[in-house]
Amino acid sequence: MKIKKFVAPTLKEATEKMKKELGENAILLNTRTVPVSGVFNVKGRAQYEITGAVDDEFTHAAAAKRTESARESAGGPEESPLAALQQLSERFGQERAAARDQRITAAAAAEHAPLSAAWQNELDDLKRSFNDLREEISAGKGQALPASYKKVYSALVSQEITEKIAMNIILPMMNASQGFSATQIYDRSVKSLADLIPVVGESKPLRKRSKIIAFVGPTGVGKTTTIAKLSAIFSLVKKMKVALISADTFRIAAIDQLQTFATIASIDMDVAYKPKDMPLLLKKFSGKDVIFVDTAGRNQRNPKEIAQLEKILAAANPDEVHLVLSATASLRTMRDVMKRFSSLSPNRIIFSKLDEASAYGNIVNLVVDHPIPISYLTMGQQVPDDIQPADNAAIAHMIFNGALADA
Ligand SMILES: Nc1nc2c(ncn2[C@@H]2O[C@H](COP(=O)(O)OP(=O)(O)OP(=O)(O)O)[C@@H](O)[C@H]2O)c(=O)[nH]1
Ligand SMILES: [Mg+2]
């Protein structure tokens, strides 16, 4: 076994160097980018360092064939380290089996000619380290990744993006036939991350009738505050006719909370004490552009509370149902809330309290599995300032910046 490193400006050239020196059967063990040394490297250009290996003790006909077909399917000579490790590990498995067969045959012939102890040790060691490396890459610890990829990986994982999603962003780039610069890797990662985040634009009025927009979610996530922010923007900034209906008769202070705001902002407001009240109130406000319906925060683990909400929503028959989730909740809690509120058919998600969240990855983790578009993000208690329509590129940048700022 011969292992050697090759450095070149592109991955392709490095691979060619490796093949020239180690032959066609050489296998790529690892790739990484290394900075170009010298004072002229003002732009921080990188070049590629690859580690290649060739085993000159065994016959390679079969291995070469496998390498060839793997290259074809990879669409080029620059295989990913993962694919290369997979191959190498498979090859070792086969060669060891062959060696063992040989030993058995030899033993049967009463000839004690086992694989030399030194060789056996070397094979065992190599197999162990290849397996470790392979596991590290696929289990996503990221340590074995080339530097630029590792940086992206760490940024994502430190924002609590799952290892699986992080690897799904990185692996297609590593498997691509061309090599990418650090900037390209960063830009592509931001874009891939953004592509995973479904968003929907700001709520717009309908032409012929009032648009009914309801807010649901667990207790204290910011439903009423979000309605105050949006109704202030819609009525004071966008000059729409807005009305508020509070269906939160559960907490005594809840009606006061919205009423106080409605009075200050000169917005019409009324209270639906029962589902039956809803049609009358909707009729009363039928001249408005938008009617916001506030609901009581409900414990998602109490089916009775959810059933009451279902009745109120059925009576309101809203065009949009925004499920408000606190960005500070754990992924497990978010998933639980999604599951239990699904009977209310939310068609928008609002992530609130971004200002209090220490990582933003759960936003992505959640929507990847539940592709309901995000409508708004809220980031503070100030009415109406602390709200923004969701923008997937901005969320992706926020995740990377949040992470990279700490690095
Ligand atoms: N830091 C922070 N606080 C927020 C945000 N949105 C709302 N809050 C605060 O969270 C608390 C609860 O807000 P509410 O709007 O009453 O929450 P709710 O979902 O209507 O609560 P219930 O009706 O009781 O279920 C208040 O103190 C809000 O000021 C936000 O984006 N960031
Ligand atoms: Mg409320």
Tell me the ligand closest to 357's alpha carbon. Answer: 1
Residues 349 and 373 placed together within one structural domain of the fold: yes
**For residue 193, pLDDT beyond 50:** yes
**For residue 325, pLDDT beyond 70:** yes
Residues 381 and 400 placed together within one structural domain of the fold: no
Residue at 293 is within a domain: yes
Assign 132 a pLDDT band (cuts: 50, 70, 90): low
State which of 215, 224, 225 you would mutate to test the pocket of ligand 1, scoring each by most atoms of that ligand within 8 A of its C-beta. 225
Residue at 183 is within a domain: yes
Residues 401 and 367 placed together within one structural domain of the fold: no
Residues 25 and 63 placed together within one structural domain of the fold: yes
- How many whole angstroms from 296 Cα to the centroid of ligand 2? 6
- Which atom of ligand 1 is the closest one to the Cα of 378? 31
- How many whole angstroms from 353 Cα to the centroid of ligand 1? 8
Residues 57 and 75 placed together within one structural domain of the fold: yes
- How many whole angstroms from 237 Cα to the centroid of ligand 2? 23
**For residue 170, pLDDT beyond 90:** yes
Residue at 205 is within a domain: no
pLDDT of residue 346: 97
Residues 173 and 247 placed together within one structural domain of the fold: no
Average pLDDT over residues 285-298: 96
Q: What is the CATH number of the domain that holds 293?
A: 3.40.50.300
Number of domains in the chain: 3
Residue at 381 is within a domain: yes
- How many whole angstroms from 253 Cα to the centroid of ligand 1? 13
Residue at 264 is within a domain: yes
Residues 291 and 321 placed together within one structural domain of the fold: yes
Tell me the ligand closest to 221's alpha carbon. Answer: 1
Residue at 173 is within a domain: yes
- How many whole angstroms from 220 Cα to the centroid of ligand 1? 5
pLDDT higher for 357 or 103? 357
State which of 381, 383, 388 you would mutate to test the pocket of ligand 1, scoring each by most atoms of that ligand within 8 A of its C-beta. 381
Average pLDDT over residues 235-250: 93
- How many whole angstroms from 32 Cα to the centroid of ligand 2? 52
Tell me the ligand closest to 246's alpha carbon. Answer: 2
Q: Which residues line ligand 1 (CB under 6 A)?
A: 217, 219-225, 248, 251, 254, 296-297, 352-353, 355-356, 378-381, 386
Tell me the ligand closest to 379's alpha carbon. Answer: 1
* Domain closes at, from 122, 138, 154: 138
- Which atom of ligand 1 is the closest one to the Cα of 295? 23
Domain that residue 301 falls in: 211-390
* Domain closes at, from 107, 138, 169: 138
Least confident of 90-99, 126-135, 210-219: 90-99
What pTM, to 2 d.p., does this model score? 0.68
Which 3-state string (H, E, C) describes the chain?
CEEEEEEECCHHHHHHHHHHHHCCCCEEEEEEEEECCCCCCCCCCEEEEEEEEECCCCCCHHHHHHHHHHHHHHCCCCCCHHHHHHHHHHHHHHHHHHHHHHHHHHHHCCCCCCCCHHHHHHHHHHHHHHHHHHHHHHCCCCCCCCHHHHHHHHHHHHCCCCHHHHHHHHHHHHHCCCCCCHHHHHHHHHHHHHHCCCECCCCCCCCCCCEEEEEECCCCCCHHHHHHHHHHHHHHHCCCCEEEEECCCCCHHHHHHHHHHHHHHCCEEEECCCCCHHHHHHHHCCCCCEEEEECCCCCCCCHHHHHHHHHHHHHHCCCEEEEEEECCCCHHHHHHHHHHHHHHCCCEEEEECHHHCCCCHHHHHHHHHCCCCEEEEECCCCCCCCEEECCHHHHHHHHHHHHHHHC
Average pLDDT over residues 220-238: 95
Residues 352 and 224 placed together within one structural domain of the fold: yes
Residues 64 and 12 placed together within one structural domain of the fold: yes
* Domain closes at, from 138, 153, 177: 138
Residue at 230 is within a domain: yes
Residues 190 and 229 placed together within one structural domain of the fold: no
Residues 162 and 121 placed together within one structural domain of the fold: no
- How many whole angstroms from 248 Cα to the centroid of ligand 1? 14
Residue at 204 is within a domain: no
Which residue, by CA, sits nearest to atom 27 of ligand 1? 381
Which residue, by CA, sits nearest to atom 13 of ligand 1? 222
Q: Which residues surround ligand 2, an ion (CB under 5 A)?
A: 223-224
Residues 174 and 229 placed together within one structural domain of the fold: no
Residue range 326-341, pLDDT digits in tens: 999 999 999 999 999 9
- How many whole angstroms from 375 Cα to the centroid of ligand 1? 17
Tell me the ligand closest to 251's alpha carbon. Answer: 1
